[in-house]
Structure 1
Amino acid sequence: MATNCIKFTSADIETAKGTGSISTLTLDLDITIEPVASTNPMASTHRVLGRSPRGKLVECGGIWKKQNKETGADYFTLIICDHGFNASLGRAASQDDLSLQAVIPWGPKGAA
Protein backbone atom coordinates (compact mmCIF):
# COMPACT_ATOMS: atom_id res chain seq x y z
CA MET A 1 0.00 0.00 0.00
CA ALA A 2 1.16 3.51 -0.76
CA THR A 3 2.21 5.70 2.13
CA ASN A 4 -0.10 8.44 3.41
CA CYS A 5 -3.21 6.41 2.60
CA ILE A 6 -5.83 4.54 4.59
CA LYS A 7 -7.60 1.50 3.15
CA PHE A 8 -11.02 1.10 4.77
CA THR A 9 -13.00 -2.16 4.73
CA SER A 10 -15.82 -0.45 2.79
CA ALA A 11 -16.71 2.81 1.06
CA ASP A 12 -18.99 3.61 4.03
CA ILE A 13 -16.04 5.16 5.86
CA GLU A 14 -18.06 6.29 8.87
CA THR A 15 -18.59 2.69 10.03
CA ALA A 16 -15.57 0.96 8.44
CA LYS A 17 -12.32 -0.29 9.95
CA GLY A 18 -9.07 0.50 8.19
CA THR A 19 -5.30 0.24 8.02
CA GLY A 20 -2.74 2.61 6.59
CA SER A 21 0.47 4.51 7.03
CA ILE A 22 1.58 8.09 7.57
CA SER A 23 5.10 9.19 6.71
CA THR A 24 6.69 12.64 6.92
CA LEU A 25 10.24 13.81 7.57
CA THR A 26 9.63 13.37 11.33
CA LEU A 27 6.85 10.77 11.52
CA ASP A 28 6.58 7.20 10.23
CA LEU A 29 3.54 5.28 11.52
CA ASP A 30 1.59 2.22 10.48
CA ILE A 31 -1.93 2.85 11.76
CA THR A 32 -5.05 0.85 12.50
CA ILE A 33 -8.45 2.55 12.37
CA GLU A 34 -11.43 1.42 14.48
CA PRO A 35 -14.93 2.98 14.29
CA VAL A 36 -16.43 4.52 17.43
CA ALA A 37 -20.15 4.35 18.24
CA SER A 38 -21.30 7.55 19.95
CA THR A 39 -24.42 9.69 20.09
CA ASN A 40 -22.29 12.79 20.78
CA PRO A 41 -22.13 14.82 17.53
CA MET A 42 -18.72 16.22 18.59
CA ALA A 43 -17.17 12.77 19.19
CA SER A 44 -14.67 11.24 16.82
CA THR A 45 -15.98 8.68 14.34
CA HIS A 46 -12.81 6.54 14.67
CA ARG A 47 -9.92 5.79 16.98
CA VAL A 48 -6.47 5.82 15.39
CA LEU A 49 -4.04 3.27 16.83
CA GLY A 50 -0.29 3.01 16.33
CA ARG A 51 2.46 0.80 17.78
CA SER A 52 4.59 1.80 20.74
CA PRO A 53 8.38 1.26 20.57
CA ARG A 54 7.75 -2.10 22.31
CA GLY A 55 5.08 -3.08 19.76
CA LYS A 56 1.96 -2.44 21.83
CA LEU A 57 -1.11 -1.08 20.02
CA VAL A 58 -1.90 2.33 21.55
CA GLU A 59 -4.44 5.02 20.73
CA CYS A 60 -2.63 7.96 19.15
CA GLY A 61 -5.37 10.01 17.50
CA GLY A 62 -8.80 10.13 15.95
CA ILE A 63 -10.87 10.82 12.86
CA TRP A 64 -13.78 13.28 12.87
CA LYS A 65 -16.57 13.80 10.36
CA LYS A 66 -16.99 17.45 9.40
CA GLN A 67 -19.15 19.40 6.99
CA ASN A 68 -17.92 22.00 4.49
CA LYS A 69 -19.62 25.28 5.43
CA GLU A 70 -19.83 26.47 1.81
CA THR A 71 -20.96 23.30 0.00
CA GLY A 72 -22.45 21.22 2.82
CA ALA A 73 -20.36 18.23 1.70
CA ASP A 74 -19.15 15.84 4.38
CA TYR A 75 -15.44 15.15 4.81
CA PHE A 76 -13.16 13.56 7.40
CA THR A 77 -10.17 14.94 9.31
CA LEU A 78 -7.43 12.99 11.09
CA ILE A 79 -5.28 14.04 14.06
CA ILE A 80 -2.23 12.25 15.48
CA CYS A 81 -2.04 13.82 18.95
CA ASP A 82 1.56 13.24 20.08
CA HIS A 83 2.97 14.70 16.88
CA GLY A 84 0.55 17.60 16.29
CA PHE A 85 -0.22 16.06 12.89
CA ASN A 86 -3.43 17.24 11.20
CA ALA A 87 -4.81 16.02 7.88
CA SER A 88 -7.93 15.70 5.79
CA LEU A 89 -8.94 12.47 4.09
CA GLY A 90 -9.79 12.49 0.40
CA ARG A 91 -9.86 10.38 -2.72
CA ALA A 92 -6.42 8.99 -3.47
CA ALA A 93 -4.90 10.14 -6.77
CA SER A 94 -5.96 8.11 -9.81
CA GLN A 95 -8.31 5.99 -7.70
CA ASP A 96 -11.99 5.23 -8.16
CA ASP A 97 -12.08 3.12 -4.98
CA LEU A 98 -13.83 5.27 -2.33
CA SER A 99 -12.59 2.94 0.42
CA LEU A 100 -9.00 4.11 -0.31
CA GLN A 101 -8.45 7.54 1.21
CA ALA A 102 -5.36 9.73 0.87
CA VAL A 103 -4.04 11.41 4.03
CA ILE A 104 -3.65 15.08 3.04
CA PRO A 105 -1.61 16.94 5.71
CA TRP A 106 -2.31 20.52 6.72
CA GLY A 107 -0.74 22.66 9.43
CA PRO A 108 -2.39 23.75 12.67
CA LYS A 109 -4.39 26.99 12.59
CA GLY A 110 -2.18 30.02 13.03
CA ALA A 111 0.95 28.24 11.73
CA ALA A 112 3.19 30.26 9.45
Structure 2
Amino acid sequence: MTTNCIKFESAVIETAKGVDSISTLPFDIDITVEPVASDNPMAPTHRVLGRSPRGSLVECGGIWKKQNRDAGCDYFTLSIRDFGFNANLGKAANQSDNMVQEVIPWSSKEA
Protein backbone atom coordinates (compact mmCIF):
# COMPACT_ATOMS: atom_id res chain seq x y z
CA MET A 1 0.00 0.00 0.00
CA THR A 2 1.26 3.47 -0.87
CA THR A 3 0.25 6.76 0.68
CA ASN A 4 -1.79 9.47 -1.02
CA CYS A 5 -2.59 7.32 -4.03
CA ILE A 6 -5.63 5.18 -4.82
CA LYS A 7 -5.02 1.81 -6.47
CA PHE A 8 -8.06 0.97 -8.59
CA GLU A 9 -8.91 -2.56 -9.81
CA SER A 10 -9.10 -1.32 -13.41
CA ALA A 11 -7.93 1.59 -15.55
CA VAL A 12 -11.62 2.41 -16.11
CA ILE A 13 -11.74 4.50 -12.93
CA GLU A 14 -15.44 5.36 -13.18
CA THR A 15 -16.55 1.76 -12.55
CA ALA A 16 -13.61 0.39 -10.52
CA LYS A 17 -13.21 -0.22 -6.80
CA GLY A 18 -10.06 1.04 -5.13
CA VAL A 19 -8.09 1.05 -1.87
CA ASP A 20 -5.20 2.86 -0.22
CA SER A 21 -4.49 5.52 2.39
CA ILE A 22 -4.49 9.29 2.69
CA SER A 23 -2.02 10.87 5.08
CA THR A 24 -1.86 14.54 6.05
CA LEU A 25 -0.75 16.32 9.22
CA PRO A 26 -4.25 16.25 10.80
CA PHE A 27 -5.28 12.71 9.74
CA ASP A 28 -4.09 9.37 8.41
CA ILE A 29 -6.81 7.00 7.16
CA ASP A 30 -7.07 3.84 5.11
CA ILE A 31 -9.81 4.21 2.52
CA THR A 32 -11.89 2.01 0.26
CA VAL A 33 -13.70 3.51 -2.72
CA GLU A 34 -16.74 1.84 -4.28
CA PRO A 35 -18.46 2.88 -7.53
CA VAL A 36 -21.97 4.36 -7.33
CA ALA A 37 -24.57 3.61 -10.00
CA SER A 38 -26.70 6.70 -10.62
CA ASP A 39 -28.44 8.43 -13.53
CA ASN A 40 -27.98 11.77 -11.76
CA PRO A 41 -25.11 13.66 -13.46
CA MET A 42 -24.42 15.50 -10.16
CA ALA A 43 -24.04 12.28 -8.15
CA PRO A 44 -20.59 11.09 -7.10
CA THR A 45 -18.99 8.30 -9.12
CA HIS A 46 -17.71 6.64 -5.91
CA ARG A 47 -18.40 6.46 -2.20
CA VAL A 48 -15.30 6.90 -0.03
CA LEU A 49 -15.26 4.66 3.06
CA GLY A 50 -12.93 4.91 6.03
CA ARG A 51 -12.54 2.81 9.19
CA SER A 52 -14.06 3.93 12.48
CA PRO A 53 -12.01 3.54 15.69
CA ARG A 54 -13.87 0.22 16.24
CA GLY A 55 -13.01 -1.01 12.73
CA SER A 56 -16.35 -0.48 10.95
CA LEU A 57 -16.41 0.88 7.40
CA VAL A 58 -18.21 4.25 7.36
CA GLU A 59 -18.92 6.56 4.47
CA CYS A 60 -16.76 9.66 4.83
CA GLY A 61 -16.73 11.25 1.38
CA GLY A 62 -17.02 10.84 -2.35
CA ILE A 63 -15.34 11.06 -5.74
CA TRP A 64 -16.90 13.12 -8.53
CA LYS A 65 -16.18 13.20 -12.25
CA LYS A 66 -15.73 16.74 -13.57
CA GLN A 67 -14.78 18.32 -16.88
CA ASN A 68 -12.04 20.89 -17.38
CA ARG A 69 -13.66 24.00 -18.88
CA ASP A 70 -10.60 25.03 -20.90
CA ALA A 71 -9.35 21.68 -22.25
CA GLY A 72 -12.66 19.81 -22.13
CA CYS A 73 -11.04 16.69 -20.64
CA ASP A 74 -12.49 14.72 -17.73
CA TYR A 75 -10.89 14.48 -14.29
CA PHE A 76 -11.88 13.27 -10.82
CA THR A 77 -12.08 15.10 -7.48
CA LEU A 78 -12.15 13.56 -4.01
CA SER A 79 -13.66 14.95 -0.81
CA ILE A 80 -13.35 13.71 2.80
CA ARG A 81 -16.17 15.54 4.65
CA ASP A 82 -15.08 15.20 8.28
CA PHE A 83 -11.69 16.76 7.59
CA GLY A 84 -12.75 19.34 4.98
CA PHE A 85 -10.23 17.65 2.67
CA ASN A 86 -10.45 18.17 -1.11
CA ALA A 87 -8.18 16.80 -3.82
CA ASN A 88 -7.92 16.04 -7.51
CA LEU A 89 -6.92 12.58 -8.73
CA GLY A 90 -4.25 12.25 -11.39
CA LYS A 91 -1.10 10.51 -12.50
CA ALA A 92 2.03 11.04 -10.46
CA ALA A 93 5.21 12.20 -12.21
CA ASN A 94 6.92 9.39 -14.15
CA GLN A 95 3.93 7.12 -13.57
CA SER A 96 2.60 4.90 -16.35
CA ASP A 97 0.03 2.77 -14.45
CA ASN A 98 -3.45 4.23 -15.17
CA MET A 99 -4.91 2.14 -12.32
CA VAL A 100 -2.99 4.22 -9.73
CA GLN A 101 -4.24 7.77 -9.15
CA GLU A 102 -2.31 10.21 -6.99
CA VAL A 103 -4.31 12.27 -4.47
CA ILE A 104 -3.40 15.92 -5.16
CA PRO A 105 -4.79 18.13 -2.33
CA TRP A 106 -6.18 21.61 -2.86
CA SER A 107 -7.80 24.17 -0.55
CA SER A 108 -11.41 25.23 -0.85
CA LYS A 109 -12.09 28.87 -1.71
CA GLU A 110 -13.73 29.37 1.72
CA ALA A 111 -10.57 28.27 3.62
For the residues of structure 2 that align with 1:19 and 1:93, how far apart are their CA atoms? 20
For the residues of structure 1 that align with 2:58 and 2:25, how far apart are their CA atoms? 22
Unaligned stretches of 5+ residues in structure 1: none
TM-score for both structures, normalised by structure 1: 0.96
Moved runs in structure 1, 4+ residues, more than 3 A? none
TM-score for both structures, normalised by structure 2: 0.97
Specify the SS of the correspondent of 1:14: helix
1:21-60 → structure 2 map (5 Å cutoff): 21-60=21-60
Could you tell me how far 1:76 is from its partner in structure 2?
Answer: 0.1
Could you tell me how far 1:95 is from its partner in structure 2?
Answer: 1.2
Q: How many residues align?
A: 111
Unaligned stretches of 5+ residues in structure 2: none
For the residues of structure 1 that align with 2:9 and 2:57, how far apart are their CA atoms? 19
For 2:93, the equivalent position in structure 1 comes to: 93
For 2:80, the equivalent position in structure 1 comes to: 80
Superposed CA RMSD: 0.7
State the Cα deviation string for residues 50-102 of structure 1 (Å, max 9, x = none): 00011000000000000000000000000000000000000023210001000
For 2:18, the equivalent position in structure 1 comes to: 18
For the residues of structure 1 that align with 2:36 and 2:99, how far apart are their CA atoms? 18
For the residues of structure 2 that align with 1:84 and 1:110, how far apart are their CA atoms? 11
Is 1:3 aligned to 2:6, yes or no? Answer: no
